Amino acid sequence: MAIAVAIFSRLLKAAITLLAIAILNFFLVHAAPGDPATVLAGEAGAADPQMIADLKARFGLDQPFYIQLARYVGNIMTLDLGYSFRQGQPVLDLIMERLPATLILTLTAFWISLLAGVALGVAASARVGKFTDTLITGAALLFYATPLYWAALMAVLVFSVQLGWLPGFGYETVGSGYGGLARAWDILKHLILPALTLGLFFMAVYMRMTRASMLEVAQQDFVKTAKAKGLAPSIIRRRHILRNALLPVVTLAGLQAGQLVGGAVLTETVFAWPGIGRLMFESLAARDYNTILGVFLVSAAMVIVFNIITDLVYRLIDPRIGQKA
């Protein structure tokens, strides 16, 4: 019952937050210079005032700002994100086509970074001051300091261009005609480089957090009591230290899961991954207001969902949180 109440409360707050984000995004996008009518007229080679005025009337940009805002808010209440005149189809359909690719990329990168980061953090904390600890922390510092775009370009150059081990661009091999397991394997090969590149930075963060948290928890009194009872070091580390050390890691992972969506914009652009991040980049260049707002809204919804899931996982790890609530 308590979990159901907590979920309802979080969903209500999420709806209010999402509405506020949608309104703020509308203000920011319309404050930017340029508009889709001017861009389309310029591309058509006939940017005369009459054509621009006709396009603005067609897009509804000739209406007062408050009317445009009221219409937009009313539309999103019914899940109508508008129509992309650049792509020639409804924005919601356009996003739904691209969303699976982004979810595959971000979720894969998230689990790779979280599992590898926690495992490396545990290994480093078990060998503090030794060569293994120095090697792991040094690698984590390198991954943390490396710009994402540079890592992506180097990954393509080394593993795709020079070595030819993995495909460097796209979601799958164009014109391959694969189906079933063959298509899944082809997509997996295209996924490896962008997922690893996107997850490197976050893996370094989780590793450093896990290591620091493990060392802090290891100094607590209940751990000393477990040692005094003669429990095996592996049991103490797994049941007593790691379980409690994961709490701040889970919190950080939930907060940064949303950042993966932002990082996916650059990753998808470099690797030509057909997700909503690349769609947003293309829409920004084309001043496609409806698509930009739709992508922003869906991205914000993904971040909120990640945070709700984090709260629920936190309650499972530490039941005392549910009792306090």
In CATH, what is the architecture of 99-317? Orthogonal Bundle (1.10)
What is the chain's alpha carbon radius of gyration, rounded to the nearest angstrom?
24
Q: Where are the domains of the chain?
A: 15-80, 99-317
- Can you tell me the distance from the alpha carbon of 325 to that of 322, in angstroms, rounded to the nearest whole number? 5
Question: In which residue ranges of the chain is pLDDT below 70?
Answer: 1-4, 6, 32-52, 54-55, 58-59, 61, 262-263, 314-325
* Per-residue model confidence as pLDDT tens digits over 231-245: 777 787 777 778 778
What single letter denotes the amino acid at residue 261? Answer: V
Q: How far is CA 22 from CA 97, 102, 157, 278, 287, in A?
A: 21, 21, 39, 20, 17
Write down the pLDDT at residue 33: 66
Q: What is the model's pLDDT at position 319?
A: 59
Sequence letter at residue 163: L
The whole-number pLDDT of residue 51 equals: 65
Which pLDDT score, from 0 to 100, does residue 217 have?
81
What does pTM read for this prediction? 0.77
